[in-house]
Amino acid sequence: MQAKDIERGERLLYRLTEFGRLLWEVGINVGPRQLLDLTETLNHIDITNKEDFYHALKCCLLGKHELEPIFDQMFTYYWLVRDNPNQKKDASKGAARRQERQMRLPPSERKRLAEHLNSNEQRRELRPETRQTDRRPAPQDKRYDDEDNDEGNPQGAAYSAIERLRKKDFEDFTWDEVQEAKRLMAEMRWNLGMRPTRRKSPSRNGSYPDMRRIVRRNLKYGAELIELTWRETKRKPRPLVIICDISGSMSLYSRLLLHFIHTITNGLLNVEAFVFGTRLTRITRQLKKRDVDDAVRDVSKSVQDWSGGTRIGDALHNFNHAWAKRVLGRGAVVLVISDGWDRGDSGVLQVEMDRLQHSCHRLIWLNPLLGSPDYRPLTIGMKTALPFIDNFLPAHNLDSLISLGNLLSSIDDSRPERSPVARRKAVEAWSKARRNTW
């Protein structure tokens, strides 16, 4: 073998390793074992054939079918766009940003892509303009600087960016916005409504006389009842049970919603978390980890039906018969997160939703699609579940999660009316309110 061939092989191995690192940064599990399998596979194909080379990389480095669109974007970027010397000279910064948003590249690659798309001629054209903007502003230009320069009011600019991020749909997030949303979720503080217990605690203005303390305090007065003491009902936070849909139709929202569930789990006591696709899986233990990325990674490994089909009725049947007696005591609040797409039997879903609603203090359903102004619950699963829901809320952006936090903190001891007539009126009122927005 010639020295030139050895140099080419070493260069190809370096490029494959760098491509594996890029896949790992965007969430595809690629390690040394996959890269070793890839190097062995490349000995049996013609690497000059682009189609064979693509399929070889895909078979060796891609472990989950649902991540195929991300793999295709990274393959196109790394092998066809990133270092292509034949890139058109008229590519502008706007094209770079559009391509960047479409591919959702990690931060380490964005700067490289932008620099690659800008030619040396464009850089030379920008240098005089850069020097012109770096000069000290003239007095007559001060008013323009106050109006247009974001650095003049950094707090206002940061506040405006956060406000836009809070109202933006999770589906449209870029890589940087996902990281910022995770940081904002970690800063959220949750306060669930308090429930009365059967125990009493000493209080100055209680409603129940504390007979033991009354007798002890009045012994010095010859057992005359001169000093009175009182007790009041002791209150504790309500348990929270979260049941999240991780089927294929929820793949755009499931990972961010798992970060949201992790935040609630570590901010409240007595929180139980479950996920379901075609089966129900308890993930409370995995979410106890302090690092959110490690927790989500453990959840993805323990769940067998990630991004698969959806059987809401079967999952709720499993929950009602195996877990309800363990976790739904003491006035628990149940939070179901799903878009309502169901492949199971609607009769099973109706029975299990009725049983679940009567077993909990409050049943809240979060639907990411509800954030769309033209959304209508036309699917069989959503139509079946809607009459048994106490609160039907969206979960498509950060503002909707903040509204959920306000609702949870305002839950009191009263339970919603759950008669068939009340259910029908609630559905009609919700449908009328939505028609006013269509």
Q: What is the pLDDT of residues 215-226, one digit of tens each?
A: 888 888 887 888
Q: Is the dihedral of CA 284, 290, 293, 297 positive or negative?
A: negative
254 and 224 inside one domain: no
319 and 220 inside one domain: no
Burial class (CB in 10 A: 0-12, 13-18, 19+), 17: middle
Domain boundary pick from 55, 86, 120 = 120
- Tens digits of per-residue pLDDT, 329-350? 888 999 999 988 888 888 999 9
Q: Within a domain: residue 187?
A: no
What distances in angstroms separate CA 187 from CA 164, 176, 244, 407, 433, one per listed residue? Answer: 17, 17, 21, 18, 33
251 and 384 inside one domain: yes
CATH number of the structural domain spanning residue 304: 3.40.50.410
Domain boundary pick from 61, 96, 120 = 120
Q: What is the pLDDT of residue 128?
A: 36
219 and 85 inside one domain: no
What is the pairing mode between strands 240-245 and 280-282? unpaired
One-letter amino acid at 23 equals L
Q: Is the pLDDT of residue 48 over 50?
A: yes
Q: Which domain holds residue 95?
A: 3-120
- Tens digits of per-residue pLDDT, 204-213? 888 888 888 8
219 and 252 inside one domain: no
Q: Within a domain: residue 180?
A: no
306 and 324 inside one domain: yes
Give the chain's domain count.
3
- Name the 3-class secondary structure at 245: strand
Name the band, by pLDDT with cuts 50, 70 and 90, for residue 436: low
81 and 67 inside one domain: yes
Q: Within a domain: residue 303?
A: yes
Query: Does the global pTM surpass 0.75?
Result: no
377 and 394 inside one domain: yes
Q: Closest Cα to residue 315, out of 284, 297, 341, 294?
A: 341
212 and 295 inside one domain: no
Q: Within a domain: residue 320?
A: yes
257 and 406 inside one domain: yes
210 and 291 inside one domain: no
Q: Is the pLDDT of residue 317 over 90?
A: yes
Domain boundary pick from 120, 145, 170 = 120
79 and 219 inside one domain: no
